[in-house]
Structure 1
Amino acid sequence: MRVKLLRWYLPFVLLAVAYGGYIAISSGNAEALKTEQVEVPLTVKVSHLRSGDHNVVITSHGEVVPVEITQLSAQVSGEVISWHPSFVPGGVVKEGEILFSIESENYNAAVLQAEADLATAQAALIEEKAKAEVAKRQAKNVPSNQVTDLYLRKPQVLSAQAQVKSALASLKRAKRDLDNCRVVAPYDALVVERNIGVGQYITAGTRVAVLNNIESAEIHVPIAGFDSVFLPEDYSGVTAKVTQKGVVNIEREGIIKRDLGVIDSATRMTSLVINVDDPYALSSDMSPLKFGSYVEVNFIGKTLKHIYRLPQELVNNRQVWIVNEDNELEPRTVNVLRAEQEFMLINEGLKDNDRLVWTVPEYPQKGTQVQLSTFNDESKQ
């Protein structure tokens, strides 16, 4: 009988023991899970913000062009008898150097003829003045009603004087034509084009060459609308840095001279004119900045007050992250006034001594508890 009862209760006893073991194991796992789920606060690097004044740097690009282009023409006709060795495309000539010469024998003869005509006219004037003086003395013995301007030879004297002036003018023209037989460079110039050769006969007005003034150069740089508000009040005379980028960068100094005074109908931009002295470095040991070069121009614009200068990677959709007084992550919406290279200029949304997060978590959440690690960076303000 007892054996039968034991057989009857044994399954229930085993079931109770198994259930008790399950409860014990489950309680241990729960404690273990609770232990594992203890969260460790994130560690982020922060820095205390400090605002400051910032000089806006305006950057644009443009092409180096000559200030002056001259289409050189001959002023007299004749045969070309010689030209300067540097008077070739790509050659550089100095102001006052003789570019080419025209046969001048006829013009020398014209000067001699004009001098002879002048001498004849001067002799005639002397003669007429002498006759007028004689007539003036004789008029004292003649009734006054008979003394006329013609009697005193005044018209003859005036005519002789006019002949002298005409002869002087002819002599001046002849000397000018003689001088123009030697065509000189009007300024330090780069020869772009030459259309003559020795033995060629040219007529007055014939275009013989194209010269570019290399005493100075200009760069016309467009200024976008969002940059124009940051231009200084008086930008005339402001220094600009001109850089031609390449294997070796060429840097020169320029001066803002003026703006073009119009807005481009296609781009809606205005343009500033930057002047660079001695672009071909004739009087210095600097690297030449050749016409046609594409360059970058940088100059200082307005000074902005109370500005925070932050790296672009910290500003996402006009939002940055700070750590509040409770050491919790907090998003801040900011106003980006301007982007400069890899930095954003911010004027609203932050205040001094805010703790800016430099190592933002991949999925930041507002209110996340964090630990702080101080981060120093020279680029912040």
Structure 2
Amino acid sequence: MISKSLRWLLPCVILAGAYGGYSAIASTEPEPDSAKPNKSLPVVTVSPIRSSNYNVVISSHGELQPVEVTQLSAQVSGEVISWHRNFVVGGVVKRGEVLFEIESDNYQAAVLQAQAQLASAQAMLIEEKAKAEVAKRQAKNLPQKQVTDLYLRKPQVLSATAQVKSAQAALKRAKRDLDNCKVVAPYDALVVARDIGVGQFITAGAQVATLNNVEAGEIHIPIAGFDSAFLPESYAGLPAKVLLRGLNTVEREGAIERDLGVVDTSTRMINVVVRVEDPYGISSDKTPVKFGSYVEVQFVGKELEQIYRLPQELVNNQQVWVVNENNELEPRTVNVVRAEKEFMLIAEGLSDEDQIVLTVPEYPQKGLLVDVNVSDEAIIF
């Protein structure tokens, strides 16, 4: 009887224990917070802006070329007996240096012969003048009709004078040919090609070398249509910066010399010529820039008034974001007049009182209330 009572009592004890454990656990749960949390405002960083006048920088690229290329020829014929040690391909020679020399014995003999002919012609002239003086004195005792130019030996004097001038011209040519036996550099030059050697016989007029003038170089740079609008009225003589990009950037000073005067029919661009003095650094200690180098050229164009210069990432589809006096986002449509590398030049749509948003929220909306963090420095360009 007692065992039956225990079988019915045991399940009741287990159920009572379970209910007591549930009540204890439920009593330890925190009470639900009926109040909703406050949603924080998006934080944006803003900066005041200031307009200023700005000089447009025009940039283009081109190849450095020699101002002058000379196909060097000999003016006399003869055997080459020596040449300058720098008169080799890649060598640099200075203005007036003797590049090579032609055997000159025949030309020295020609000078001596011309000198002898001149002396003979001068002697004949002296003799004819003396005879003419004698005839002039004798003519005083003759009737006027008998005194003719032939009697006074005027034709003979004129002929002797002509012989002297002819001999002088022959001597001048002989001396010139003798001087031309030494072929000199017409300017500071880079030897591009040489077609002669010692012992070789060359004829007058034969091409013997190709020289590039290294006293100056020039770069033909194309100016695109959107850049040509910012060219000054007169740009000849404007200084230009020439940059050779590489492991170490080389910078040289140049100047705009002229434009080519025509519009390229294929690109519809104009081409401006920039001159660089002493590109190989022959007369200075400047870093050489070799012909054929592809360089960047920068020069200052027109001055734009009251311009805002903003980083490109702040301008999206001709629009920037500002924060108004109520700390609300406000889009502004702006007029971008020019893009220069990582900046946009803006002429209209902003004012000096605006606060430009530097950190735009992920989903910006007009009228969105924001928490403003003001940058320490204004964007002033």
Q: Is the 8 A contact 2:61 2:222 kept in 1?
A: yes
Q: Is the 8 A contact 1:41 1:369 kept in 2?
A: yes
Deviation at 1:260, TM superposition (A): 1.3
Q: Is the 8 A contact 1:235 1:256 kept in 2?
A: yes
Pair 1:379–1:277, CA change in 2 (3 A):
farther
SS at match of 1:199: coil
* Distance (Å, rounded) in 2 between the aligned partners of 1:314 and 1:232: 29
* Distance (Å, rounded) in 2 between the aligned partners of 1:145 and 1:216: 72
Match of residue 74 from structure 1: 74
Residue type of the partner of 2:36?
A: T
Match of residue 22 from structure 1: none
TM-score, normalised to structure 1's length?
0.90
* Distance (Å, rounded) in 2 between the aligned partners of 1:300 and 1:377: 27
Higher mean displacement: 158-167 or 319-328: 319-328
Equivalent runs, 1:295-310 vs 2, <5 Å: 295-310=295-310
SS at match of 1:70: strand
Match of residue 161 from structure 1: 161
Structure 2: where are the runs of 5+ without partners? Answer: 1-30
Match of residue 35 from structure 1: 36
CA-based RMSD: 1.4
* Distance (Å, rounded) in 2 between the aligned partners of 1:376 and 1:232: 37
Deviation at 1:307, TM superposition (A): 0.2
Match of residue 95 from structure 1: 95
Match of residue 372 from structure 2: 372
* Distance (Å, rounded) in 1 between the aligned partners of 2:284 and 2:174: 41
Pair 1:325–1:35, CA change in 2 (3 A):
same
Equivalent runs, 1:181-260 vs 2, <5 Å: 181-260=181-260
* Distance (Å, rounded) in 2 between the aligned partners of 1:235 and 1:89: 37
* Distance (Å, rounded) in 1 between the aligned partners of 2:274 and 2:123: 60
Match of residue 267 from structure 2: 267
* Distance (Å, rounded) in 2 between the aligned partners of 1:83 and 1:42: 81
Equivalent runs, 1:141-152 vs 2, <5 Å: 141-152=141-152
TM-score, normalised to structure 2's length?
0.90
Deviation at 1:326, TM superposition (A): 1.8
* Distance (Å, rounded) in 2 between the aligned partners of 1:143 and 1:282: 78
* Distance (Å, rounded) in 2 between the aligned partners of 1:173 and 1:376: 82
* Distance (Å, rounded) in 2 between the aligned partners of 1:114 and 1:378: 86
Equivalent runs, 1:310-321 vs 2, <5 Å: 310-321=310-321
* Distance (Å, rounded) in 1 between the aligned partners of 2:363 and 2:371: 16
Match of residue 122 from structure 1: 122
Q: Does 1:49 align with 2:52?
A: no
Deviation at 1:178, TM superposition (A): 0.4
Give percent identity, aligned residues only. 69
Deviation at 1:377, TM superposition (A): 4.8
Deviation at 1:378, TM superposition (A): 6.6
Deviation at 1:198, TM superposition (A): 0.7
Q: Is the 8 A contact 1:55 1:300 kept in 2?
A: yes
SS at match of 2:263: coil
Match of residue 3 from structure 1: none
SS at match of 1:107: helix
Residue type of the partner of 1:321?
A: W
Q: Is the 8 A contact 1:310 1:380 kept in 2?
A: no
Residue type of the partner of 2:154?
A: K
Pair 1:276–1:311, CA change in 2 (3 A):
same
* Distance (Å, rounded) in 2 between the aligned partners of 1:353 and 1:165: 89
Deviations 1:91-137 (A, max 9, x none): 01111110000011110111011001101110110111011111111
Match of residue 329 from structure 2: 329
* Distance (Å, rounded) in 2 between the aligned partners of 1:378 and 1:264: 44
Deviations 1:245-299 (A, max 9, x none): 1111111111111111111111111111111111111122221111111111111
* Distance (Å, rounded) in 2 between the aligned partners of 1:49 and 1:288: 43
SS at match of 2:261: coil
* Distance (Å, rounded) in 1 between the aligned partners of 2:311 and 2:147: 103
Match of residue 342 from structure 1: 342
* Distance (Å, rounded) in 1 between the aligned partners of 2:188 and 2:296: 26
Deviation at 1:201, TM superposition (A): 0.7
* Distance (Å, rounded) in 2 between the aligned partners of 1:47 and 1:242: 35
Deviation at 1:221, TM superposition (A): 1.0
* Distance (Å, rounded) in 2 between the aligned partners of 1:297 and 1:54: 19
Equivalent runs, 1:123-142 vs 2, <5 Å: 123-142=123-142
SS at match of 1:322: strand
Q: Is the 8 A contact 2:48 2:378 kept in 1?
A: no
Pair 1:140–1:104, CA change in 2 (3 A):
same
Match of residue 9 from structure 1: none
Deviations 1:293-322 (A, max 9, x none): 111111111111000000000000110011
Q: Is the 8 A contact 2:79 2:201 kept in 1?
A: yes
Pair 1:329–1:379, CA change in 2 (3 A):
closer
Residue type of the partner of 1:265?
A: T
* Distance (Å, rounded) in 2 between the aligned partners of 1:244 and 1:378: 34
